[in-house]
């Protein structure tokens, strides 16, 4: 038994050493694992949480529509004047009594030439309204026809002298639009008249309607 004990002692010693080594190794692994589990790496910077998105969407950007350009300006020519869309003549166009024949006078020629020059230089005036008016003497139907024919006679003169017919609008109002009451010869003379109005500019109503 003594001999056997001597032989076994070294073996037991070696087994003891191996068991101790395994225990230490196991303890080191557990320690390392606990170290990793117990806390973060002090050298790793902490990252801030990403803020939640803003629930309110930004306002949609809309490009402002530029205002429309102003219409071309109508200019007065010669002795003509502008009163809004009305072209005021420096005199009265005269006709033969009771007819649509334009009297052949220098004053009439000067007036008609100024209207022609107005249309020639204001090319953006795409429609000029030529109005005929009468007093209240005679039947209403006769005065209506007379005012129609006088307006047409002025348009015919302008067309013959180079103005496009498509830019001219003749219209007669007869006795319906007097300037003053037809109570005297002087008042009736005022009511027998021709008027000229800018109707459209570049194809659009001159009054903006």
Q: Express each pLDDT in 12-48 by its tens digit.
A: 455 445 544 544 444 444 444 444 444 445 555 555 5
pLDDT confidence tier of residue 64, bands split at 50, 70 and 90: confident
CA triple 9-11-17, angle to 5 deg: 105
pLDDT at 66: 81
User: Is residue 28 assigned to a domain?
Assistant: no
Residue 186 in domain: yes
Q: Is residue 2 part of a domain?
A: no
Whether 49 maps to a domain, the answer reads no
Domain assignment of residue 18, yes or no: no
Contacts 24+ apart (CB under 8 A), 106-112: 112/154, 112/157, 112/158, 112/161
pLDDT at 81 over 70: yes
Range of the domain at 181: 81-205
Give me the number of domains the chain comprises: 1
Query: Is 168 part of a structural domain of the chain?
Result: yes
10, part of any domain: no
Residues 6+ away with beta carbon under 8 Å from 192: 133, 134, 135
Q: What is the pLDDT of residues 151-206, one digit of tens each?
A: 999 999 999 999 999 999 999 999 999 999 999 999 999 999 999 999 999 999 99
CATH of the domain at 174: 3.30.1330.60
pLDDT at 48: 57
Banded model confidence at residue 76, pLDDT cuts 50, 70, 90: very high
According to the model, what pLDDT value does residue 192 have?
Answer: 96
Instruction: Tally Cβ neighbours within 10 Å of residue 52.
Output: 6
Q: What is the pLDDT of residue 58?
A: 67
pLDDT band at 70 (very low <50, low <70, confident <90, very high): confident
Q: Mean pLDDT of all residues in the chain? A: 82
Confirm whether 118 is domain-assigned: yes
């Amino acid at each position: 038994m003594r001999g056997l004990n001597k032989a076994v002692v070294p073996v037991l010693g070696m087994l003891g050493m191996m068991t101790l080594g395994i225990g230490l190794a196991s303890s080191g692994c557990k320690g390392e694992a606990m170290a990793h589990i117990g806390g973060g790496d002090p050298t790793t910077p902490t990252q801030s949480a990403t803020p939640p998105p803003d629930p309110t969407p930004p306002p949609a950007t809309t490009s402002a529509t530029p205002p429309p350009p102003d219409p071309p300006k109508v200019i007065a020519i010669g002795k003509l004047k502008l009163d809004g869309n009305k072209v005021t003549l420096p005199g009265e166009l005269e006709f033969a009594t009771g007819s649509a024949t334009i009297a052949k006078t220098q004053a009439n020629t000067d007036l008609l030439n100024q209207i022609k020059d107005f249309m020639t230089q204001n090319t953006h005036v795409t429609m000029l309204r030529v109005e005929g008016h009468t007093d209240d003497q005679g039947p209403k139907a006769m005065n209506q026809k007379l005012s129609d024919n006088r307006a047409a006679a002025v348009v015919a003169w302008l067309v013959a002298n180079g103005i496009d017919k498509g830019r001219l609008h003749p219209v007669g109002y007869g006795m319906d639009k007097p300037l003053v009451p037809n109570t005297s010869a002087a008042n009736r003379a005022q009511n027998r008249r021709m008027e000229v109005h800018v109707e459209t500019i570049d194809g659009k109503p001159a009054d903006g309607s």
